[in-house]
C-alpha cells in the first residue's frame, strides 16, 4: 500500500487537532463545576462567579492563552434540548416596511396588493416585495409605484417617474437592510443580556432571524428584549474634566458607606489643586504594574478606592510624565467582569444623589481593539424637560461605510431636511469647543466623535480609529435608527433544564449502548477484522466530536441521534470491504492479495453509497432548521470521517498486521458461509413481490387520504406544552377539561411516563403577541388544575409556531423530499449512464416513502408514543431515502460490474440480476442488521423526544432493505424488457470486428 506514512501522519495530525478542539469543552466544564461548587445552588452567585472569570486566563498552552470567554466561544456547545433555554424565530414585518417607506398611503389598490402579497407569502417561496410587485400589476393599478415611494426621505434613492423595476430593487434593498439592521440590534441586545454561547442566524431567503439562547430562564424578559423597538439617539456629552470630580466624590462616598478602612494617612478631597496627585493615585489603584505601585506608595496615596479600584480614569502621561485627564467624553475604562459591580454602585441611592439629573453614564457597545477585555464608560448629557436626546435616529435617510481621502475607513451619514436643520444647530454648538456627539442605540454608546465644524446640509462623515468592520457595524446602527418596521416572535420553543437533563442522559445512554452493540456484533461476526472495524468506529466518534467542536456546531439531541446512527453506518464500508475480502479468499487468493483486492473492488460501491447519503445530508442542511441542522451536520461530518477511518485507517492497520505476521480472520466458522452460496430467484418471483408492494402502497395511501396524520405544531401552527404531574393522570380527563376551557379541540398525548403529557392547542393560533401567550398559558393552567387539584403539575417546555411559519416549514419539507428524489436519481443517472437505474432507484424510494407515511398514519393513536408528522419526521424520511438508495446503489454497482465482463451479453439478463442481488445479499443484510441494532437502541434508550424519529428510521431501514433487494434491480430488468444492459456495447464490438 502506497502512502502509509502519510496516512499515519494524517491520523496523528487529525487526532491532535480534535483533541485540541475538544479540550476547550473540558476546560470550560471545569470552570463551571467550580462555579457550581462555589455557588452551592445560588444561581446569582454562580453567574457572578462566571462573569468574574470572563476575562481570566483559564487555559494556558504555552504558545497561546485563552480566557474563559474565549474558551467558551470554542467549546462544543449544547443545544436547547440538551441544556434547556429558549429558541425564538423573529419575523421582520416587511409589509409594515413597505407601507412606511410610502408614508402609509390611503390608495385602495396599493393596500389591497400588499394585503394579498402578505397572504400569499405564507405559502410562497417568493419574497413579500416580489409578491407585492406582482399583485400590484395583476389588479390593474395605473398609478406608477414611484409616485408612492418618491418621498422626502427617499428623495436621493427614488424619483417620480422611476420604473417599477427600480422601485422593486429599492424595496428589496431596503428589506435586506431592515433584516440586517434587525440582526445587528438583536445581536447587541443579546450580548448585553449575558447569555453564554447564543446562536443568532438570519434564515437565508426569508425575513426571519433565528435566536437560540441556551440556559435562559426569564422568558418574559427575553420576549420584551427581543421585540422592543430599536432606539437610536444622538446626545451631547460632558467632558472628562467635568465629570472626574463627581467620580472622586462618588468614590469617597462609597468608601464611607461601604465602611472601607483607609490604608493611608492622607485623605483625598475635591480640591482641584490636588487633582494630579489624586489622578495618579486613581490610575495606580488596583493595578499590577510594579512601578505604578512604587510611585503610589511614594505619594502616600495608596488607599482603598471602591470605585477607582474597578474603574480606571481616562488619562494619559503628558510631556512631563505627569498623569493628565484625557479630553473627550470617555471618563473611564473597566474590565468586562467588573462592569456589573460598577453599575450596582452607580444605582445606589447615595451615588444617584451626587450625579446631576442630566448626566447619564453609559458603556461602549464593545471593547476597543487595544483593550479586548475592557469597556469604556462615557458621560452623556441629557437635555430638555424629559432629559432626552438632542436628536433621534428617525431623521437618518441613509448611512454607509466608506473611505476618506487618506483611505481611512469612515462612515457617511445623510439626514432628511428636518434632521439637517436640527443637525446644523447641534454641530455648530458642539464645534465651538470641539465637543463630541454620542451615537447611542438602546442605551449603549456606539461612537462619540468630536465635531470639527458646523454641518449645514445633514451630510456628515464620522471618522475615528475604525476598522472596515467597525464602519459597517456603525452604518448598520445608523440605518437601524430609521428602521420603519418591527420584529415579532412567530415561533418559540422553551425547554426547561429538567427535560434537558433527561435528554442528555437518554442521549449518552443510547450512544454508549449503541457503540457496545455494534462492537460486539462486529467481533462476533468478523473475528479479528471486527476488532479493526471497532478501532475505526471509536476513532470515528472521536473525530466527529472534534470536528463538531472545531466548527462551533451546536450539539442537539437529533445531533446525538446522528452520531449514534453514524456508528451503525460507519461499519457499512467495513462490511463492504470484509465481504469482498471473503469473496477474494474464496477464489483462492492469499490474505495479502485478498485484502488489497477487497479494498480495490469495494471502493466504488462505498463511494457511491456514501455520496448519495451525503447529498441527502446537504438537502437536510439547506432546507432544515433548528435541531434538524444539528442532525444534518453530524450526518455529513460522520460520512466524511467514516470514509477516512474505514478506508484508510483500517487499511493501515491491516498492513501493519501483515508485516507483523498477525493472522487476519474475517469470519468465524459459523459465519464463514452465511449467505455465501445464495441463489434466490428474485427476478422470476418479482411479480409476487410487486403484488405485495402494491397492496402495501394501496393500504398506506388509503389511510393517508382517509385517516390522515397527526401534524406536529411546526406543521400546523399553534402552541404545544410538555407537562409533568406529580402522579399519573388520565389523558382523556385532561383533554375534556382543556376542550371545555379553550372551546376548541385539544390534542393530549402521553409523553413518555404516565405522569407526563404533551398538550397541543390551536387556540389563538393567529395571534403571536405576549398577551395571547399569557392568555393561553393561563387557560392551560386553569384547565390542568380542574382535572385534579391535588395532582400538581409543572410545565417543562413549550413551543409556539405561527401559521405563516408552519406553512413555510411544510412547503420546505415537501420541496426537500421531492428535491432529494430528483437529485439522487440524477446522481445515479450520471454515475451509471442509463436511465433505467435512476427510475429503478426512484421507484424503490417512492415506495419506501409512501409505506412509511402510511404506517405513521395507521399506527398513530395505537402505539404508545407520538407519531406526529413534523420536521423530525421529514429528517427521518429523507434519511430513509438515503439508506434505501445506499443499499440499491451497492446492488447496482455489482450489476454494472457483471454486465461489463467479457461475453456478459450472452448471459440471460434475469440471471445476471439475480446473481448481482445474491452476491451482495450478505452485505445488505449485515449492514441493515447493524443499523437496525443501533436504531433499536436509540428507540428504546434515546428518550421520548426522538422516539418517533428513531421509529421512523428503524421502520424505514427495514422497508428500504426490502425494496433495494426486491424492487430496485428487478425494476431495471422490466424497464429494459429483458434486453441486456450490455447489448449496446456488444453491438458496437461486433461492428468493429466485422470484416
Give per-residue pLDDT as tens, 903-961.
Answer: 766 778 888 889 889 988 888 888 888 888 888 888 888 777 778 888 988 998 899 89
CA–CA gap between residue 905 and residue 976 (Å, rounded): 13
Q: What is the pLDDT of residue 695?
A: 96
Residue position matching grid coordinates 387520504 = 705
How far is residue 286's CA from residue 27's CA, in Å, rounded to a whole number?
28
- In which band, very low, low, confident or very high, does the pLDDT at 788 lie, cut at 50, 70 and 90? confident
Class of domain 718-801: alpha beta
Average pLDDT, the chain: 81
Percent of the chain scoring above 70 in pLDDT: 88
Alpha carbons within 13 angstroms on the beta-carbon side of residue 112 total 9
Q: Which pLDDT score is estimated for 575? A: 85
- pLDDT of the residue at 269: 31
| Burial class for 116, CB neighbours closer than 10 Å (0-12, 13-18, 19+) | middle
Q: Give the range among 394-398, 795-799, 981-985, 986-990 with minimum mean pLDDT.
A: 986-990
| CB contact at 8 A, 485 and 92 | yes
C-alpha cell at position 22: 475538544
Q: What is the pLDDT of residue 498?
A: 61
Helix (H, G, I), strand (E, B) or coil at 303: coil
Residue 912, C-beta contacts closer than 8 angstroms, at least 6 positions apart: 895, 898, 899, 904, 980
What 3-state class would DSSP assign to 18?
helix
Given a cut of 50, is residue 276 above it in pLDDT?
A: no
Rounded to an integer, the average pLDDT of 516-523 is 87
Q: What is the rounded distance in angstroms from the CA atom of residue 321 to the CA atom of residue 158? A: 57
In angstroms, rounded to a whole number, what is the distance separating the alpha carbons of residues 92 and 209?
8
| 206 band by pLDDT with thresholds 50, 70 and 90 | confident
Task: Say if residue 988's pLDDT is above 70.
Answer: no
CA distance 233 to 393: 5
pLDDT at 263 over 50: no
Q: Residue 126 and residue 52: Cα distance in Å, rounded?
A: 48
pLDDT at 191 (0 to 100)? 65
> Would you place residue 657 in the very low, low, confident or very high pLDDT band (cuts 50, 70, 90)?
very high
Burial code (b: 16+ CB inside 10 Å, e: under 16) for 77-94 equals bbbbbbbbbbbbbbbbbb
Phi, psi of 456 (to 5 degrees): -85, -25
Report the pLDDT value the prediction gives residue 380, as an integer from 0 to 100. Answer: 93
How many residues does the structure list for the chain?
Answer: 995
- What's the pLDDT score for residue 981? 64
pLDDT the model gives residue 302: 39
pLDDT above 90: residue 635: no
pLDDT top residue among 448 and 82: 448
pLDDT in tens, 729-758: 888 888 888 988 888 878 887 777 788 888
Q: How far apart are CA 179 and CA 573, in angstroms?
A: 45
Yes or no: say if 199 and 211 are a contact pair by the CB < 8 Å rule: yes
Res 855: pLDDT: 93
- Confidence bin at 287 (pLDDT 50/70/90): very low
3-class SS of residue 440: strand
Candidate ranges 265-279, 389-403, 610-624, 647-661; pick with highest mean pLDDT: 647-661
Share of the chain above pLDDT 90, in %: 14
User: 737 and 787 in contact (C-beta within 8 Å)?
Assistant: yes
Give the pLDDT confidence score for residue 487 in this predicted structure: 75
**Range scoring the smallest mean pLDDT among 199-208, 243-252, 536-545:** 199-208
Residue 698 has pLDDT above 90, yes or no: yes
User: Considering Cα of 859, then 862, then 863, then 867, what sign does the dihedral take?
Assistant: positive
What CA–CA distances, in Å, run from 142 to 135, 145, 154, 316? 13, 9, 22, 66
pLDDT over 50 (residue 266): no
CB-based contact 493:80 (threshold 8 Å): yes
pLDDT at 531 over 90: yes
Q: What pLDDT digit, counting tens, does each position of 809-840 carry? A: 777 777 777 888 788 888 888 888 888 888 99
Instruction: Check residue 547 and report its DSSP letter.
Output: H
Stretch 10-15: mean pLDDT: 90
pLDDT at residue 190 tops 80: no
Region 408-413 average pLDDT: 86
pLDDT score at 992? 39
Query: Please, which pLDDT band fits residue 847 given cuts at 50, 70 and 90?
Result: very high
State the Rg of the chain over Cα.
34
Q: Highest mean pLDDT range out of 174-178, 213-217, 671-675, 695-699?
A: 695-699
What's the mean pLDDT in 787-811? 77
pLDDT score at 279: 56
C-alpha closest to that of 74 among 64, 62, 85: 64
CA angle (417, 418, 419) in 5-degree steps: 90
Q: How far is CA 148 from the centre of its chain?
A: 39
pLDDT tens-place string over residues 605-632: 888 778 888 888 888 888 766 667 777 8
Angle at which helices 591-623 and 650-659 cross, to 10°: 170
Q: Per residue, what are the HEC states of 850-893? A: HHHHHHHHHHCCCCCCCCCECHHHHHHHHHHHHHHHHHHHHHHH
Residue 179 contacts residue 198 (beta carbons within 8 Å): no
Beta-strand runs (E) in 153-309: 199-203, 208-214, 232-237
Tell me what pLDDT residue 405 has. Answer: 79
Q: Where in the chain is the domain with CATH 3.30.70.3400?
A: 718-801
Q: Which residues pair with 801 in a beta bridge?
A: 491, 718
Cα(500)–Cα(496) distance, integer angstroms: 6
231-260 residue pLDDT tens = 788 999 999 999 999 999 999 998 888 864
Distance, in Å, from the CA atom of 645 to the CA atom of 543, rounded to the nearest integer, reads: 9
Q: Which residues contact 860 (CB under 8 A, 6 or more apart)?
A: 707, 709, 710, 867
Say what the pTM is.
0.69
Which of the pair, 295 or 796, is modelled with greater confidence? 796
Smallest CA-to-CA distance from 961 within 935, 923, 909, 933 is with: 923
Q: Is 332 helix (H, G, I), strand (E, B) or coil?
A: strand
Whether the predicted pLDDT of 473 surpasses 80: no
When comparing pLDDT for 134 and 55, which is higher? 134
> pLDDT band at 54, cuts 50/70/90?
confident
Better-predicted residue by pLDDT, 419 or 492: 419
Which pLDDT belongs to residue 768?
Answer: 66
Q: Inform me whether the pLDDT recorded for 373 exceeds 50.
A: yes
Is the model's pLDDT at 296 over the cut of 70?
no
**Mean pLDDT along residues 313-323:** 85
Using pLDDT thresholds of 50, 70 and 90, give the confidence band for residue 377: very high
Predicted pLDDT of residue 241: 92
The answer to whether 834 touches 892, Cβ cutoff 8 Å, is no
Q: What's the pLDDT at 292?
A: 38
Residue 18: per-residue pLDDT: 92
Across 583-592, 624-633, 824-833, 872-881, which has the greatest mean pLDDT? 583-592
Q: 91-129: per-residue pLDDT in tens?
A: 888 888 888 888 888 888 999 999 998 888 776 768 889
Amino acid at each position: 500500500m502506497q502512502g502509509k506514512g502519510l496516512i499515519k501522519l494524517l491520523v496523528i495530525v487529525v487526532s491532535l487537532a480534535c483533541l485540541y478542539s475538544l479540550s476547550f469543552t473540558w476546560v470550560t466544564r471545569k470552570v463551571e463545576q467550580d462555579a457550581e461548587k462555589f455557588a452551592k445552588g445560588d444561581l446569582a452567585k454562580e453567574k457572578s462567579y462566571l462573569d468574574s472569570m470572563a476575562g481570566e486566563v483559564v487555559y494556558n498552552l504555552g504558545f497561546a492563552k485563552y480566557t474563559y470567554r474565549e474558551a467558551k466561544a470554542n467549546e462544543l456547545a449544547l443545544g436547547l434540548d440538551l441544556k434547556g433555554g429558549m429558541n425564538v424565530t423573529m419575523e421582520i414585518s416587511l409589509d409594515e416596511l413597505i407601507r412606511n417607506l410610502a408614508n402609509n398611503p390611503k390608495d385602495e389598490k396599493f393596500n389591497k396588493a400588499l394585503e394579498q402579497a402578505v397572504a400569499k407569502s405564507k405559502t410562497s417561496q417568493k419574497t413579500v416585495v416580489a409578491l407585492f410587485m406582482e399583485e400590484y400589476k395583476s389588479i390593474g393599478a395605473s398609478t406608477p409605484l414611484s409616485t408612492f415611494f418618491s418621498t422626502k426621505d427617499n428623495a436621493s434613492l427614488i424619483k417620480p417617474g422611476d420604473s417599477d423595476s427600480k422601485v422593486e430593487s429599492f424595496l428589496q434593498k431596503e428589506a435586506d437592510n431592515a433584516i440586517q439592521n434587525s440582526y445587528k440590534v438583536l445581536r447587541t441586545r443579546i450580548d448585553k443580556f449575558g447569555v453564554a454561547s447564543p446562536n443568532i442566524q438570519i434564515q437565508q431567503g426569508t425575513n426571519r432571524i433565528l435566536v437560540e439562547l441556551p440556559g435562559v430562564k426569564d422568558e418574559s424578559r427575553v420576549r420584551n428584549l427581543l421585540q422592543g423597538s430599536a432606539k437610536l439617539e444622538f446626545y451631547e456629552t460632558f467632558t472628562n474634566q467635568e465629570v472626574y470630580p463627581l467620580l472622586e466624590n462618588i468614590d469617597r462616598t462609597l468608601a464611607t458607606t461601604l465602611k472601607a478602612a483607609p490604608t493611608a494617612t492622607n485623605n483625598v478631597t475635591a480640591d482641584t489643586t490636588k487633582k494630579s496627585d489624586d489622578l495618579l493615585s486613581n490610575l495606580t489603584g488596583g493595578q499590577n504594574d510594579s512601578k505604578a505601585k512604587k510611585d503610589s506608595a511614594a505619594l502616600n496615596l495608596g488607599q482603598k478606592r471602591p470605585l477607582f479600584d474597578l474603574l480606571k480614569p481616562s488619562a494619559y502621561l503628558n510631556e512631563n510624565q505627569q498623569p493628565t485627564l484625557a479630553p473627550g467624553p470617555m471618563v473611564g475604562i473597566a474590565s468586562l467582569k467588573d462592569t456589573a459591580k460598577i453599575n450596582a454602585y452607580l444605582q445606589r441611592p447615595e451615588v444617584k444623589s451626587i450625579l446631576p439629573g442630566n448626566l447619564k453614564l453609559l458603556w461602549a457597545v464593545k471593547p476597543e481593539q487595544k483593550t479586548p477585555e475592557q469597556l469604556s464608560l462615557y458621560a452623556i448629557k441629557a437635555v430638555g424637560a424629559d432629559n432626552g436626546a438632542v436628536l433621534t435616529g428617525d431623521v437618518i435617510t441613509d448611512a454607509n461605510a466608506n473611505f476618506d481621502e487618506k483611505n481611512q475607513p469612515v462612515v457617511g451619514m445623510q439626514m432628511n431636511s428636518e434632521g439637517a436643520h436640527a443637525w446644523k444647530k447641534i454641530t455648530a454648538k458642539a464645534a465651538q469647543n470641539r465637543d463630541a456627539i454620542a451615537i447611542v442605540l438602546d442605551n449603549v454608546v456606539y461612537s462619540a466623535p468630536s465635531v470639527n465644524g458646523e454641518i449645514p446640509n445633514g451630510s456628515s462623515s464620522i471618522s475615528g480609529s475604525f476598522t472596515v468592520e467597525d464602519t459597517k457595524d456603525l452604518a448598520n446602527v445608523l440605518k437601524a435608527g430609521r428602521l420603519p418596521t418591527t420584529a415579532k416572535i412567530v415561533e418559540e420553543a422553551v425547554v426547561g433544564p429538567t427535560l434537558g437533563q433527561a435528554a442528555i442522559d437518554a442521549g449518552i445512554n443510547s450512544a454508549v449502548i449503541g457503540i457496545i452493540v455494534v462492537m460486539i456484533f462486529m467481533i462476533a461476526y468478523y473475528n479479528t477484522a471486527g476488532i479493526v472495524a471497532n478501532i475505526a468506529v471509536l476513532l470515528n466518534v472521536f473525530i466527529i466530536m472534534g470536528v463538531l467542536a472545531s466548527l462551533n456546531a451546536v450539539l442537539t439531541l437529533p445531533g446525538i441521534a446522528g452520531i449514534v446512527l453514524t456508528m451503525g453506518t460507519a461499519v457499512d464500508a467495513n462490511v463492504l470491504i470484509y465481504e469482498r475480502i471473503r469473496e477474494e479468499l474464496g477464489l483462492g487468493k492469499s490474505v495479502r492479495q485478498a485484502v488489497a483486492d477487497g479494498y480495490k473492488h469495494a471502493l466504488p460501491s462505498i463511494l457511491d453509497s456514501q455520496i448519495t447519503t451525503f447529498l441527502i445530508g446537504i438537502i437536510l442542511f439547506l432546507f432544515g432548521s433548528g435541531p434538524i441542522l444539528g442532525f444534518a451536520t453530524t450526518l455529513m461530518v460522520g460520512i466524511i470521517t467514516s470514509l477516512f477511518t474505514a478506508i484508510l485507517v483500517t487499511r493501515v492497520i491491516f498492513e501493519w498486521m501483515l508485516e507483523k505476521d498477525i493472522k487476519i480472520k474475517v469470519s468465524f466458522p459459523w459465519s464463514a458461509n452465511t449467505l455465501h452460496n445464495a441463489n434466490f430467484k428474485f427476478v422470476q418471483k418479482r411479480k409476487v413481490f410487486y403484488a405485495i408492494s402494491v397492496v402495501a402502497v394501496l393500504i398506506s395511501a388509503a389511510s393517508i387520504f382517509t385517516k390522515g396524520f397527526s401534524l406536529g405544531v411546526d406543521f400546523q401552527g399553534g402552541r404545544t406544552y410538555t407537562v409533568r404531574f406529580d402522579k399519573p393522570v388520565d389523558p382523556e380527563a385532561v383533554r375534556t377539561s382543556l376542550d371545555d376551557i379553550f372551546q376548541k379541540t385539544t390534542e393530549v398525548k402521553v409523553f413518555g411516563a404516565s405522569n407526563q403529557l404533551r398538550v397541543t392547542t390551536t387556540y389563538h393560533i393567529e395571534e403571536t403577541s405576549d398577551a395571547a401567550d399569557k392568555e393561553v398559558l393561563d387557560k392551560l393552567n386553569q384547565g390542568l388544575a380542574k382535572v385534579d387539584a391535588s395532582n400538581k403539575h409543572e410545565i417543562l417546555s413549550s413551543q409556539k409556531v405561527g401559521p405563516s411559519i408552519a406553512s413555510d416549514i411544510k412547503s420546505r419539507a415537501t420541496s426537500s423530499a421531492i428535491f432529494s428524489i430528483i437529485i439522487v436519481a440524477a446522481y445515479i443517472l450520471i454515475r451509471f449512464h442509463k436511465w433505467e437505474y435512476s427510475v429503478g432507484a426512484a421507484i424503490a424510494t417512492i415506495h419506501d416513502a409512501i409505506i412509511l407515511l402510511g404506517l405513521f398514519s395507521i399506527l398513530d393513536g395505537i402505539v404508545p408514543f407520538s407519531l406526529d408528522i413534523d420536521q423530525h419526521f421529514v429528517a427521518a424520511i429523507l434519511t430513509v431515502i438515503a439508506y434505501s438508495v445506499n443499499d440499491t446503489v451497492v446492488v447496482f454497482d455489482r450489476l454494472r460490474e457483471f454486465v461489463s465482463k467479457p461475453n456478459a451479453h450472452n448471459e440471460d439478463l434475469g440471471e445476471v440480476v439475480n446473481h448481482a442481488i445474491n452476491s451482495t445479499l450478505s452485505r445488505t443484510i449485515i449492514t441493515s442488521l447493524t443499523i437496525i441494532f443501533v436504531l433499536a437502541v436509540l428507540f428504546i434508550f434515546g428518550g421520548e423526544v426522538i422516539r418517533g424519529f428513531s421509529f421512523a428510521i428503524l421502520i424505514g431501514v427495514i422497508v428500504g432493505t426490502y425494496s433495494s433487494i426486491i424492487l430496485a434491480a428487478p425494476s431495471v430488468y422490466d424497464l429494459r424488457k429483458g434486453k441486456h444492459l450490455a447489448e449496446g456495447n456488444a453491438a458496437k464490438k461486433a461492428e468493429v470486428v466485422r470484416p
